[in-house]
Amino acid sequence: MRARSSAINLIMMLGVIRRRVASGGSSASVFGQSFQASRPVVSTSRVSSIAEKEVLLQPRGFGQVRNFGHLVVPGCSVSLRPMREVVASIQREATMQMLSRPFSSDNGDLVDAVVPFMGESITDGTLASFLKSPGDRVEVDEPIAQIETDKVTIDVTSPEAGVIQKFVAKEGDTVEPGTKIAIISKSAEGVAPVAPSEKASEKAVSQPSPPSEKVEEKQKPKVETAPDTVRPKAPSTPPPKRSATEPQLPPKERERRVPMTRLRKRVATRLKDSQNTFALLTTFNEVDMTNLMKLRSDYKDAFVEKHGVKLGLMSGFVKAAVSGLQNQPIINAVIDGDDIIYRDYVDISIAVGTPKGLVVPVIRNAEKMNFAEIEKEINTLAKKANDGSISIDEMAGGSFTISNGGVYGSLLSTPIINPPQSAILGMHSIVSRPMVVGGNVVPRPMMYIALTYDHRLIDGREAVFFLRRIKDVVEDPRRLLLDI
């Protein structure tokens, strides 16, 4: 009888819940009130003695509630699921909805512009600058802001054509993929661009006029004061004299403090790690550029006519580096823990200085390229690096680096290794110097070259042989044809 009475009470409770939900009440709130009200009626200890058959009841209107109770009939058991299981189920569904949100949310007329996916190794970035202003008209996929990461600068584009209503992020904020930065109106409703004259008038109104000093003087009450007694002034101590060795520091007003960009901080960290990890050693040699420059001069017009790109000196050094790496495979290897990884491919990284910092795009499989293919790839990567459109994949990897400081006029330097590589070749400016050729002193266009290598892995013998191979191939490019 008690079980039947409990079943009737629970059925009545479900009917009340169903009517309240149908009338517009919140399913969660109605369920909580009804559940609290039903607690004293049903006792778990009493019901547990009944047969172990269960009938699942899921009333309509409880789309978010799972397994919230069981219907009681004669010969069946009753068990009420704890409230925390229901809440956990609702939270899981809400979390899945948040994780599955798209990278641009559309709410009717308003569209959110959000930060795109920035790469597997990049979790966040800094909102560097806005390329547009509120009220500006934008087209589909038009960049409206730039995100600066540790490696590249990424554009945030507009998902729809419309007018920028407002920005919801500020320059300098740290943002993650999916972060909303702007709201765009597709119909341009509710967007009122402010004219410059209106801005000026608002500023003038917002600045209150300073109170008149005369009015303040009139409002102050006059207070009669006794004549001050004349007191002898204490002798002022003279300022301390600076010693002759004390440095004269410039005033702080002539200094500027500017925060480092993420790219600059990343470069600084990697170069310092390289200095702390590798046993850096540099060896030098000099190259006579006469024959390579003559080859370039003789065939530059025919080269451009056939391949559509100019013949430069960099392709000759890339081919020479490939030959040197194939002759000395240890230069192309790297230490990984207690092992040495030998690479059977040659990916040449080319250091490119940009206004935002140093980037190192990679020429993949350089051993399979000819002069024309190398020149085209260098031009493409350099252009992308300078305009900021280079991707992370185009800079990842690389087994050997070439840095050409000669384009800036550097005569001699010791380049630093780009981790996780083991060596780097430094090129420098070409200077005409007197050289002894065939017993005669003649002027020759000469270039100093430098190889910095990890002495933990590479001995001086291999480093000198590699640099000697660079010198031989550049001074006589015919060696590449004959493979000698």
How many Cα atoms occupy the beta-carbon half-sphere of 4 within 13 Å? 2
Is it true that the peptide bond before 211 is cis, omega within 30 degrees of 0?
A: no
Q: What is the dihedral of CA 430, 285, 408, 432, to 10 degrees?
A: -20
Q: Are 392 and 413 in contact (CB under 8 A)?
A: no
User: Biggest alpha carbon distance in the chain?
Assistant: 124
Residue 173 falls in the annotated catalytic set:
no
DSSP annotation of 326 reads H
Q: Which residue is listed with tokens 């540099």?
A: 282
286 strand-pairing partners: 448
Q: Which residue is listed with tokens 């990284």?
A: 349
Give the whole-angstrom CA distance, residue 386 versus residue 354. 6
Q: Are 468 and 437 in contact (CB under 8 A)?
A: no
Q: Looking at 459, 472, 476, 483, which residue is catalytic?
A: 459
* Cβ burial 417-441 (10 Å sphere, 16+ → b, else e): bbeebbbbbbbbbbeeeeeeeeeee
Residues belonging to the chain: 484
Type of residue found at 310: K
Query: Distance from CA of residue 473 to its chain's centroid?
Result: 40
Q: How far is CA 402 from CA 104, 125, 252, 395, 441, in A?
A: 41, 29, 41, 14, 31
> Could you count the other beta carbons within 10 Å of the beta carbon of residue 28?
14
Q: Are 119 and 153 in contact (CB under 8 A)?
A: no
Residue 109 falls in the annotated catalytic set:
no
Q: Looking at 124, 136, 307, 455, which residue is catalytic?
A: 455
| Burial class for 379, CB neighbours closer than 10 Å (0-12, 13-18, 19+) | middle
Both tokens of residue 87? 């809440």
Both tokens of residue 166? 């407002």
- The angle subtended at Cα 379 by Cα 376 and Cα 384, nearest 5°, is 125
Active site (catalytic) residues:
455, 459
